[in-house]
Amino acid sequence: MVNLEPEAMQTGWRGRAAALSWDGRPLIGGTRREGTGAMAIWSPVHGGLLYEAALCSADMVDQAVVDAHRACERGVWSDLSPRARGMILLRLAELIVENHEELALRDTLEMGKPIASALVDIRDLAPTLCRHYAEAADKIYGDVAGSDAASLAFSLREPRGVVAAIAPWNYPLPNAVIKVMPALAVGNCVVLKPSELTPGSALRLGELALEAGVPPGVLNVIPGDGVTTGAALARHPLVDMVTFTGSTQAGRAIMATASQSRIRPVILECGGKSPQIVFADAPASDLVAPRILGEAFANQGQLCVARSRLLVHASRKADLMAALEREVRQYAVGDPLEPATTFGPLAGQRQCERVLGHIAGALRDGARMVAGGPVDRPCGVAPTILDDVSQGMAIVRDEVFGPVLTVQSFESTEEAIGLANGSSYGLAATVWTAHYPTAQTLVRRLKTGHVTVNGTVESYEGPGMSLAGEPRGDSGFGSETGLDSLRSYTAIKGVVLAGGPCRSADR
Ligand code: NAD
């Protein structure tokens, strides 16, 4: 549970929301620019219009990329020492902390997550990520290769240049940080396109970066949609690398678009359908049930690594289902601006209809709803548990990206592995067992980028922030954390200094 600041408790989030001002203009070359299309930003909190943000045209995208390219060419950022860049990004982390209430409120109003969760995202997660990359800035370097006595052979890690970063809406600020910071830490310039649902905190991140000392033009933020703004950005010939987080469908399109004007590297962090596997010897059901639900329903289930498929050993199923039914009633579904709310609305009406469509389809296919379904609030869907599902059903196969947990049972370890791997996605998995060899087997054989044993996402984020994990299958490729993520934003240059004989001929 989050300890809210006394000031926030007293003021009331609704009052603060009403007083908040919005500026949806793009941030290019260190200033807010005028003169582009408009995009309505609706709030799932009350269903009303929050403000109008820019919908950046191809011309505006061009201005942002050209500015970033110019900053690259002038070396205003890449020529700084890695340590100096890291210090500026550490200052940015502190500015995020100083402004966390305002940033959290923006994310809540734009995508509906409970303010208590948004505060944790912005006060803890985003600055932790920011510091992680900032502190790694001077730990990325090349190698010295073995060579003959007359030469020196080594590799340099150079920034790639202009990085186009395209982000989703589910964790607006943390996702922007995950994209932008590793690229900046190693000396790139960035053009960030946040989701059309949630540009608010990303635009503020751009302003805070300037305040921290990031030179103008090094981080540009352009609001807009996917087909106009995102596609123009991914296609732009002066972009040297594209990093994308979002749906597999958009990932496919971006991969194709990014290769249209020239060849360049792409990172894709896409959708998931991750399993959590409970073996017969897992901890007591009352202990694991809240964690299982937490892994499925965090952020209203709008989490790429949501463990949305529960696979439970047949001998444990009845007991665990009873515990899950008890536990799911503990969610406080309601107004996200109330600090006591633990489960808010989905990110918008379209998202809500999409998720309810998945649930209705599952029920038609024969699934049984143990808990959940629609809630009589704007964009409301309660944490939903579906039993009597089978591997071939769409609800088990397709990413819902909402609060839906399906339940299947298994008899043997082989069957569990088969069910877990029976997905086109490969993002993450959780295993609950007291048997070390079983855990080992699963860790080796699950086709996912991350595996957590007897733990939750929180256990991963503590010691694991520096761990990289690369998605498999339709979940994409490239890693988002750890030193590997910074390396992927660099290009290796092999250098040989062929200095000639190093001993005189008369030795
Ligand atoms: P989305 O794919 O609809 O949009 C993501 C971003 O891509 C947005 O900024 C959007 O404007 C842009 N975009 C969409 N189509 C585009 C195109 N053709 N060209 C260029 N840009 C385009 O995804 P979303 O609805 O914002 O987010 C939900 C999805 O994101 C889910 O599938 C979820 O699993 C995934 N996700 C993955 C991760 C991860 O790390 N793997 C993290 C968070 C979310």
pLDDT tier, 236 (very low <50, low <70, confident <90, very high otherwise):
very high
pLDDT band at 1 (very low <50, low <70, confident <90, very high): very low
Please give the pLDDT value at position 75.
Answer: 98
Ligand 1: centre distance to CA 246 (Å): 2
* Structure confidence at residue 504 (pLDDT): 66
What is the rounded distance in angstroms from the CA atom of residue 134 to the CA atom of residue 65?
24
User: In the prediction, which pLDDT does 222 show?
Assistant: 98
Q: Which residues line ligand 1 (CB under 6 A)?
A: 166-170, 193, 195-196, 225-227, 230-231, 234, 245-247, 250, 253-254, 257, 269-272, 304, 399, 401, 427, 471, 475
- Listed as own residue / partner, the contacts of 459-467 with beta carbons closer than 8 Å and 24 or more positions apart are 461/125, 461/128, 465/128, 465/129, 465/132, 466/132
The rounded percent of the chain whose pLDDT value lies above 90 is 90
Q: Which of 101, 110, 196, 269 is catalytic?
A: 269
Residue with tokens 């990520």: 129
Residue 155 confidence (pLDDT) above 50 = yes
Non-local CB neighbours of 458 within 8 Å, separated by 6+ positions? none
Nearest Cα to Cα of residue 240 among 179, 191, 203: 191
Q: How many other CB atoms sit within 10 Å of the CB of residue 248?
A: 18
Q: What stretches of 137-261 show up as alpha helix (H) in DSSP? A: 172-185, 200-212, 231-235, 248-258
Torsion of CA 205, 210, 215, 219, to 10 degrees: 20
pLDDT, tens digit, 9 for 90 and up, residues 242-299: 999 999 999 999 999 999 999 999 999 999 999 999 999 999 999 999 999 999 999 9
- What's the confidence (pLDDT) of residue 461? 57
Contacts of 133 (CB under 8 A, 6+ apart): 89, 181, 182, 184, 185, 485, 486
Predicted pLDDT of residue 462? 58
Rg (CA), the chain: 24
**pLDDT of res. 460:** 56
Output the 3-class SS for 354-379.
HHHHHHHHHHHCCCEEEEEEECCCCC
d(CA 446, ligand 1 centre) in Å: 25
- The tokens describing 319, both together, are 């007991």
Three-class DSSP category at 107: helix
Q: Which tokens sit at 342?
A: 């633990």
Nearest C-alpha neighbor of 175 from the set 105, 245, 91, 90:
245
Q: What angle do CA 381, 385, 386 make, to 5 degrees?
A: 115
- Percentage of the chain beyond pLDDT 70 is 94
How far apart, in whole angstroms, are the C-alpha atoms of residue 487 and residue 267? 12
Residue 136 has pLDDT above 50, yes or no: yes
Q: What is the DSSP string of 174-188?
A: HHHHHHHHHHHHTT-
Residue 4: predicted pLDDT:
41
For a mutational test of ligand 1's pocket, the pick from 41, 170, 352, i.e. the residue with the most ligand atoms closer than 8 A to its C-beta, is: 170
Selecting among 270, 304, 352, 379, the annotated active-site residue is 304
Nearest CA to ligand 1 atom 38: 304
Q: Provide mean pLDDT across the span 81-109.
A: 98
- pLDDT tens profile 326-370: 999 999 999 999 999 999 999 999 999 999 999 999 999 999 999
Longest Cα–Cα distance in the chain: 93
Which whole number is the average pLDDT over 210-227? 98
pLDDT tens digits for range 487-507: 999 999 999 999 776 676 665
Q: How sure is the predictor about 148, in pLDDT bands with cuts at 50, 70 and 90?
A: confident
Cα separation, 479 vs 182, in Å, equals 11
Question: Are the beta carbons of 396 and 390 closer than 8 angstroms?
Answer: yes
Residue 269 is among the residues annotated as catalytic for this protein:
yes
What's the 320 CA to ligand 1 centre distance in angstroms? Answer: 34
Q: How confident is the model at residue 459, as a pLDDT?
A: 60
Counting from 1 in the atom list of ligand 1, the atom nearest the Cα of 480 is 40
